Amino acid sequence: MYEQDMQRNETIFGKILRGEIPCNKVYEDEHILAFHDISPAAKVHALVIPKKLISSVNEASEDDLTLLGHLQTKIPEIAQLAGCDKHGYRVITNVGPNAGQEVFHIHYHILGGEKLSGLNPKL
């Protein structure tokens, strides 16, 4: 399943990028798009994706250094536009099945707008 998904170029985020399905946009430029998550896990939950298809952090290469650096340095502005910059926020990217990655187009979750629970529920 994981291998098949990784090899498939077609993802829901590809459809959003091509304008085939709508999104609630937060920010867009030539290289990246940010939009609100359809099923928010916090009061504010935005996703940031590069327009280039990279399946996950595992598939990022040195060719992607500038693009992913750009994406990451835009996160504070996107958090501000989404309304969660004031008191801090969390940035997460899931990789593969153990992390629960569902969409195989690299994306960074920005979670905030409220106090978030700790990362380790076992503690």
Measured from the CB atom, the residue of 37 and 64 that comes closer to ligand AMP is 37
Alpha-carbon span 37 to 90, nearest angstrom: 14
Query: Please, what is the minimum distance in Å from the beta carbon of residue 35 to ligand AMP?
Result: 6
As measured in angstroms, the least distance from the Cβ of 87 to ligand AMP is: 22
- Min separation Cβ 17 and ligand AMP, Å: 11
Query: Residues 31, 36, 70, 107: which is the catalytic one?
Result: 107
Is 87 designated active site?
no
Q: Which is nearer to ligand AMP, 65 or 99 (CB)?
A: 99
Length of the chain measured in residues: 123
d(CA 37, CA 47): 6
| Residues within the interface to ligand AMP (CB under 6 A) | 12, 21, 23, 35, 37-39, 47, 94, 100-103
Catalytic positions, written as ranges? 107
